[in-house]
Chains A and B, each alone.
Chain A
Amino acid sequence: MVASANARLRLETVKLTALFGQHRAVRDVSLLFPAHTVTAIIGPSGCGKSTMLRCLNRMHELTPDASVTGEVLLDNVNIYGGAVSPVELRRRIGMVFQRPTPFPTMSIYDNVAAGLRVNGRRPRTEIDHAVSRALQQAALWDEVKDRLHTSALDLSGGQQQRLCIARAVAPEPEILLLDEPTASLDPAGTQRIEELCHVLKRLYTIVIVTHNMQQAARVSDYTAFMYLGSLIEVGKTNELFTKPTIDQTEAYITGRFG
């Protein structure tokens, strides 16, 4: 079972600093993401929350001039250690972006299978099975099961985003990173994705970046508030939103700045 294998999974950052050239976009952040929970990272635009997320699967370093200091521990192994391959790592950590990014030359089926095939050849039946499982997890199966081999671009924006979630979960990652996954969706599409978070956290550890505080309150178990690259406060979501201990947090969640 995926769930039991993931039960002891630990993801945490230790004094993580992310730089663009000399600019420190994330400063000295130490944060633990408990297994099978949803952790939301909130904060005003430019506070480093997306950069923080991109450090967790080593996407940050793909930007020219970008670098990282500190550690990100996955099951107590520093993913920035010499023995870890970023390509292998990214197969264990799925990611969904702000805008839907279906591969335009591929069918719905091939999109979902993309992450499986890159891991080496597999029997067709196994891929069939994994694709339908992933689409079901992403609550898209019923809408596309009769047109799996049509272009992924024929789907609506909300469906495309759920397709991207299916693509991310198909290789059975341990962690799912969501970078403002509802930023380009309408309210109905947003609601579908939020419902998915509740279901998917049984299988995966989820980290979601959002600039929408209501969304953080609705979907997450823990919330981390970042400001100017620093972690200001982190706690259980209901506690952080009802009785924040730091003035800046309170100011932000009550809408006085940001």
Chain B
Amino acid sequence: MSTRALRRHITSRIMTGLVIVLSFTAVLALFLILGNLIIKGASSLDWAFFTKSPVPAGQSGGGVANAIVGTGIVVGLAAIIGVPLGVGAGMYLAEYGSGRLGWLVRFIADVLNGTPSIVIGIVGWTFIVRPTSRFSAVAGAVALAILMIPMLARTTEEMVRLVPHSLREAALALGYPRWRTSLKIVARTALGGIVTGSLVGIARVAGETAPLLFTALGNLNFSVHITQPIQTLSLQIYVYATGPFEEWHRLAWASALVLMGLVLIISLVARWVTRQRYGRIR
């Protein structure tokens, strides 16, 4: 082997090793968190944990059924509000957003994407909680939706832009009006990506605590009323983890594990949808 070939060989080995170490470091954090949660939380997971509401402080037993249901309600409402608006805005940006208005919307979306989520919570408090004089699930959902919309708008835009221009032209040449081309051809082709983006967005906000502190507030009792304060897993973790009781800490770890599992499941579904997409239509 010539010296040059040898040098290249060695450099290649070193760089490959370096990249492997770096990627392991990156996922190490995830495994540490997950492992820690399982060690400290898994033992508390029993039937009562999923079916019972919290018991008064100091007593043992009880569960977080109220928080699990509450998370479902708040995140579900947020998705109902946020997904249509976010995806719609993304479609607009990709298909018609080449002008000044498109630039403005894109800029605002980017700023909003970078806004700390606690600020979004304050916005929810100012515009919904204060006028209605009550904390509520709806207020929490709106705060989460505001967080979701710019995220979805930008990912939808990316996905729609991936649709080849030739498909648009083919539809237009067949006599499709522009709006129908966008809806029937472009959006349908990008659907897999849009669904994936939406699920990732939903998973992101499912773990948010800060925007819910002054909006959904939290509720130690079981409640499904969307005009009343409601508990979510993230709020439950916040309260229990900072509380004084050993029992609460135990439940906080278990809740964190459940929340993490929930996000994992949504992400897996998102991956599955993506694979379906590429499996079927390349």
What residues make up the interface of A, taking CB atoms closer than 8 Å to B?
57, 59, 62, 64, 87-91, 94-95, 97, 99, 101, 103-105, 114-115, 118-119, 151, 153, 164, 167-168, 171
Cβ contact within 8 Å between A101 and B175: no
**Shortest Cβ distance from residue A184 to the other chain B in the assembled complex, whole angstroms:** 11
Which of B114-122, B185-193, B209-217, B256-264 is near enough to bind chain A?
A: B185-193
B101 interface hit (Cβ, 8 Å): no
B281 partner residues in chain A, CB cutoff 8 A: 104-105, 151, 153
Cβ contact within 8 Å between A118 and B280: no
- Given A105-B191, A151-B280, A59 and B173 contact (CB-CB distance below 8 Å): yes
**Shortest Cβ distance from residue B101 to the other chain A in the assembled complex, whole angstroms:** 16
- Given A118-B180, A151-B280, A151-B281, A101 and B174 contact (CB-CB distance below 8 Å): no
A59 partner residues in chain B, CB cutoff 8 A: 169, 172-173
Q: Mark B93-136, 1 if CB is under 8 A from A, else 0.
A: 00000100000000000000000000000000000000000000
A62 partner residues in chain B, CB cutoff 8 A: 169, 172
- Given A64-B98, A151-B280, A153-B281, A101 and B170 contact (CB-CB distance below 8 Å): yes
- Given A97-B169, A103-B170, A171 and B175 contact (CB-CB distance below 8 Å): yes
Q: Mark B162-200, 1 if CB is under 8 A from A, else 0.
A: 001011011111111100100001001101000000000
Cβ contact within 8 Å between B170 and A118: no
Count of chain A to chain B residue pairs whose CB atoms are closer than 8 Å in the complex: 65
Cβ contact within 8 Å between A87 and B170: no
**Shortest Cβ distance from residue A243 to the other chain B in the assembled complex, whole angstroms:** 36
B282 interface hit (Cβ, 8 Å): yes
Chain A facing B: main interface SS: mixed
Cβ contact within 8 Å between A115 and B174: yes
A94 partner residues in chain B, CB cutoff 8 A: 173-174
- Distance between Cα atoms of A151 and B164 in the complex (Å): 18
- Distance between Cα atoms of A145 and B89 in the complex (Å): 41
- Excluding A90-B172, A94-B174, A101-B169, 10 further A-B contacts by CB distance (< 8 Å) are A59-B172, A59-B173, A64-B98, A97-B173, A103-B171, A103-B188, A104-B281, A104-B282, A114-B171, A119-B175
A164 partner residues in chain B, CB cutoff 8 A: 170
B166 partner residues in chain A, CB cutoff 8 A: 97, 99, 101
Chain B facing A: main interface SS: helix
- Distance between Cα atoms of A164 and B173 in the complex (Å): 11
B174 partner residues in chain A, CB cutoff 8 A: 90-91, 94, 114-115, 118, 167-168, 171
- Distance between Cα atoms of A91 and B174 in the complex (Å): 6
Count class of interface residues, chain B: 20 to 34
**Shortest Cβ distance from residue A201 to the other chain B in the assembled complex, whole angstroms:** 20
Q: Which 9 pairs between the two chains have the least Cβ-Cβ distance? A: A91-B175, A101-B170, A95-B173, A115-B174, A90-B175, A104-B281, A105-B188, A101-B166, A87-B177
Q: Mark B256-282, 1 if CB is under 8 A from A, else 0.
A: 000000000000000000000000111
- Distance between Cα atoms of A168 and B173 in the complex (Å): 9
**Shortest Cβ distance from residue B18 to the other chain A in the assembled complex, whole angstroms:** 40
**Shortest Cβ distance from residue B190 to the other chain A in the assembled complex, whole angstroms:** 9
User: Which residue in chain A gives the minimum CB-CB distance to B173?
Assistant: A95
Interface centre among B173, B180, B185, B282 (most CB of A within 10 A): B173
Cβ 8 A contact of B175, one of A64, A118, A151: A118
Cβ contact within 8 Å between B169 and A103: no
Q: Mark B136-178, 1 if CB is under 8 A from A, else 0.
A: 0000000000000000000000000000101101111111110
**Shortest Cβ distance from residue A66 to the other chain B in the assembled complex, whole angstroms:** 13
Interface centre among A88, A89, A97, A101 (most CB of B within 10 A): A101
* 24 sampled A-B residue pairs with Cβ under 8 A: A57-B173, A62-B172, A87-B175, A88-B175, A90-B175, A91-B174, A91-B175, A94-B173, A97-B169, A97-B170, A97-B173, A99-B166, A101-B164, A101-B166, A101-B170, A103-B188, A103-B189, A104-B282, A105-B281, A114-B174, A118-B174, A118-B175, A119-B175, A164-B170
**Shortest Cβ distance from residue A204 to the other chain B in the assembled complex, whole angstroms:** 15
Cβ contact within 8 Å between B177 and A104: no
Cβ 8 A contact of B189, one of A87, A104, A151, A171: A104
Cβ contact within 8 Å between B173 and A105: no
User: Which residue in chain A gives the minimum CB-CB distance to B190?
Assistant: A105
**Shortest Cβ distance from residue B223 to the other chain A in the assembled complex, whole angstroms:** 42
A101 partner residues in chain B, CB cutoff 8 A: 164, 166-167, 169-170
User: Which residue in chain B gives the minimum CB-CB distance to A92?
Assistant: B175
- Distance between Cα atoms of A171 and B170 in the complex (Å): 14
A105 partner residues in chain B, CB cutoff 8 A: 188-189, 191, 281
A119 partner residues in chain B, CB cutoff 8 A: 175
B170 partner residues in chain A, CB cutoff 8 A: 97, 101, 103, 164
